């Protein structure tokens, strides 16, 4: 599983180490990158689309090991702000499904990161099922 | 046909402000740039033209998501334009513009323009190094690096294209326009240099599916590996995203550092590329990590040992 390579120590992380941001940090239609979490090489992109938060591993599936997608810190969207975009070759991804709709990795999908929102509004990477 | 190399690449982007910010931070100088975009140049005048993708003055887009609209090649003289027109007008439309330049499409549909080159002759030293056994290149009291040392792109070096058919691409540039194959990465494609340029390559092809056709990257020559790493480090510190490097390629021997961009392709700083003449015999190697680089590094934040002995050390 690709996740195992990129977030290999995630199961052992304490909740504080899994914190990404606060729900108020991400406005509607915005995307930002957080991390990498301890043990991972890649950031996690958190975006809000139609009011719902989604999180994706910052790793374009065009190359086997994944490559970072922003052109600058937190610059993850295309000019029209309609798609998550890899700024290696301008691959466009659906913000809600992670599917590549145009570009080199056409038909491939970003790796979704399961997130949970705490009582104070903090956004965490979800703990593995056996810990909850 | 004395083709020298790319004078400009023209892009139609979806965010002109982002592209302008990026190109300026990369080290290109805005020339006649407005909110509609404009021209960004290196020290010798070559560079990039960027406009919004809906700008009617742009050549038509490729049938992919790539933002490259035109490659503008510089030639030595008007006679070279006449020779290109004579060669290519036999099987395609060649449009002569009022300034004497000519426009046409290559065999993959990439828009090309040829003009008498606008590049200015540079008169600048290369990076100087000192080594035992060789005469000192930097004499007494001449320092090698300093905090504010200049590290700006000197010239547009080369273009790398995603093309679906290597044979079609190679035939067009070599048989019709006189380019020479210097080396081949089997499985990717050939490195090409035009007749009037002794750089290892100004053009390289990578074979890809049709839906990827476009520009993979463009590269700019720096004054040496130190300038390359200084420019790249400054770029990363401003928040721009490294893609690959710094490192040094095998074929061409050039140092490299690639970055993501809002122009739909990578931008590369390169330095210290090999020179060749017509006596060179092309090498061939299977494409892959080993063949593509002699060394590869990854940037990390500045760090230094110090601050006393490690925890638990005696004494």
Burial of B121 (0-12, 13-18, 19+ CB in 10 A): exposed
Q: Which two tokens stand for residue B112?
A: 């090309």
What's the whole-number average pLDDT of chain A?
88
Residue A131's pLDDT band (cuts 50, 70, 90)? very low
Interface of A with B (CB under 8 A): 67-73, 75, 78-80, 86-92, 102-104, 106
pLDDT at A1: 35
pLDDT at A39: 87
Q: Which two tokens stand for residue A57?
A: 């591993």
Among A26, A17, A86, smallest CA distance to A55 is for A26
pLDDT at B273: 98
Residue B54 has pLDDT above 80, yes or no: yes
CB-CB contact of B115 with B81 (8 Å): yes
pLDDT at A129: 60
Task: Confirm or reject contact between B194 and chain A (CB < 8 A).
Answer: no
What's the whole-number average pLDDT of chain B?
96
Instruction: Say how far apart CA B26 and CA A74 lie, in whole Å.
Output: 18
Instruction: Say how far apart CA A57 and CA A54 lie, in whole Å.
Output: 10
Q: Do B243 and A71 touch (CB under 8 A)?
A: no
Lowest mean pLDDT among B17-21, B140-144, B233-237, B304-308: B304-308
Residue A12's pLDDT band (cuts 50, 70, 90)? low
Burial of A19 (0-12, 13-18, 19+ CB in 10 A): middle
Chain A residues with CB inside 8 Å of B239's CB? 72-73
Instruction: Say how far apart CA B126 and CA B285 lie, in whole Å.
Output: 30
Task: Confirm or reject contact between B237 and chain A (CB < 8 A).
Answer: no
CB contact burial B32-68 (16+ within 10 A = b; e otherwise): ebeeebbbbbbbbbbbbbbbbbeeeebbeebebbbbb
Mean predicted confidence (pLDDT) in B68-76: 98
Chain B residues with CB inside 8 Å of A70's CB? 241, 260
Q: Do A89 and B239 touch (CB under 8 A)?
A: no
Q: Do B211 and A70 touch (CB under 8 A)?
A: no
Task: Confirm or reject contact between B13 and chain A (CB < 8 A).
Answer: yes
Task: Confirm or reject contact between B27 and chain A (CB < 8 A).
Answer: no
Q: Do B241 and A80 touch (CB under 8 A)?
A: no
Residue A57's pLDDT band (cuts 50, 70, 90)? very high
pLDDT above 90: percentage of residues in chain B: 93
A44-49: strand order across its sheet? A31-34, A44-49, A52-57
CB-CB contact of B297 with B248 (8 Å): no
Residue A100 has pLDDT above 70, yes or no: yes
Task: Confirm or reject contact between B22 and chain A (CB < 8 A).
Answer: yes
pLDDT at B138: 98
Residue spans of the domains in chain A: they are: 2-76+110-131
pLDDT at B65: 87
Residue A132 has pLDDT above 70, yes or no: no
CB-CB contact of A86 with A103 (8 Å): yes
Mean predicted confidence (pLDDT) in B18-36: 97
Tens digit of pLDDT for each residue in B130-143? 999 999 999 999 99
pLDDT at A2: 38
pLDDT at A8: 40
Q: Which two tokens stand for residue B270?
A: 């390169």
CB contact burial A37-67 (16+ within 10 A = b; e otherwise): beebebbbbbbbbeeeebbbbbbbbbeeebb
Residue A7 has pLDDT above 70, yes or no: no
Residue A11's pLDDT band (cuts 50, 70, 90)? low
Residue A26 has pLDDT above 60, yes or no: yes
Tens digit of pLDDT for each residue in B146-170? 999 999 999 999 999 999 999 999 9
Burial of B128 (0-12, 13-18, 19+ CB in 10 A): middle
Q: CATH second-level architecture of B3-120+153-296?
A: Roll (3.10)
Residue A6's pLDDT band (cuts 50, 70, 90)? very low
Residue B306 has pLDDT above 90, yes or no: no
Residue B67 has pLDDT above 50, yes or no: yes
Residue spans of the domains in chain B: they are: 3-120+153-296
Residue of chain B nearest A60, judged by CA positions: B243
Q: CATH second-level architecture of A2-76+110-131?
A: 3-layer Sandwich (2.102)
Q: HSE (CB half, 13 Å, CA atoms) of B118?
A: 19
> Which residue among A70, A78, A103 sits closest to B260, beta carbon to beta carbon?
A70
Tens digit of pLDDT for each residue in B185-222? 998 899 999 999 999 999 999 999 998 999 999 999 99
Q: What's the Cα-to-Cα distance from B285 to each of B187, B190, B251, B257, rounded to whole Å?
A: 9, 10, 9, 22
Give the 3-state secondary structure of residue B25: helix
């Amino acid at each position: 599983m690709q996740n195992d390579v990129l977030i290999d120590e995630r199961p052992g992380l304490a909740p504080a180490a899994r914190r990404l941001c606060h729900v108020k940090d991400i406005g509607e239609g915005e995307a930002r990158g957080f991390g990498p979490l301890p043990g991972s090489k890649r950031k996690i992109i958190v975006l809000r689309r139609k009011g719902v938060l989604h999180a994706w591993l910052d790793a374009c599936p065009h190359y086997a090991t994944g490559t970072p997608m922003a052109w600058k810190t937190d610059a993850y969207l295309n000019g029209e702000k309609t798609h998550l975009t890899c700024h290696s070759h301008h691959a466009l991804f659906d913000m809600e499904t992670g599917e590549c709709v145009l570009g080199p990795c056409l038909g491939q999908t970003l790796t979704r990161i399961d997130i949970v929102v705490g009582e104070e509004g903090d956004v965490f990477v979800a703990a593995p099922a056996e810990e909850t | 046909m004395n083709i020298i190399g790319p004078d400009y690449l023209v892009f139609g982007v979806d965010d002109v402000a982002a592209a302008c910010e990026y190109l300026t931070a990369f080290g290109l100088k805005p020339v006649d740039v407005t909110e509609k975009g404009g021209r960004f140049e290196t020290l010798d005048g070559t560079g990039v033209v960027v406009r919004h993708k809906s700008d009617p003055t742009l050549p038509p887009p490729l049938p992919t998501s790539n933002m490259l609209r035109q490659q503008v090649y510089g030639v030595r003289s008007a006679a070279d334009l006449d020779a290109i027109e004579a060669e290519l007008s036999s099987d395609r439309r060649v449009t002569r513009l009022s300034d004497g330049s000519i426009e046409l499409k290559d065999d993959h549909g990439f828009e090309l323009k040829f003009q008498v080159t606008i590049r200015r002759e540079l008169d600048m030293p290369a990076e100087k190094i000192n080594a035992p056994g060789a005469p000192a290149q930097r004499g007494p009291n001449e320092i090698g690096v300093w905090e504010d040392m200049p590290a700006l792109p000197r010239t547009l070096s080369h273009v790398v294209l995603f093309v679906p058919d290597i044979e079609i691409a190679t035939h067009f540039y070599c048989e019709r326009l006189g380019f020479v194959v210097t080396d081949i990465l089997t499985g990717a494609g050939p490195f090409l240099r035009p007749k009037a340029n002794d750089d290892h390559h100004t053009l390289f092809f990578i074979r890809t599916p049709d839906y990827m056709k476009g520009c993979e990257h463009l590269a700019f020559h720096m004054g040496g590996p130190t300038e390359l790493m200084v420019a790249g480090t400054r770029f990363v510190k401003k928040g721009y995203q490294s893609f690959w490097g710094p490192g040094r390629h095998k074929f061409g021997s050039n140092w490299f550092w690639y970055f993501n961009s809002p122009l739909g392709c990578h931008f590369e700083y390169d330095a210290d590329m090999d020179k060749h003449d017509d006596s060179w015999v092309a090498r061939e190697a299977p494409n892959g990590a080993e063949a593509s680089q002699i060394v590869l590094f990854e940037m990390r934040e500045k760090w230094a040992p110090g601050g006393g002995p490690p925890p638990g050390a005696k004494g």
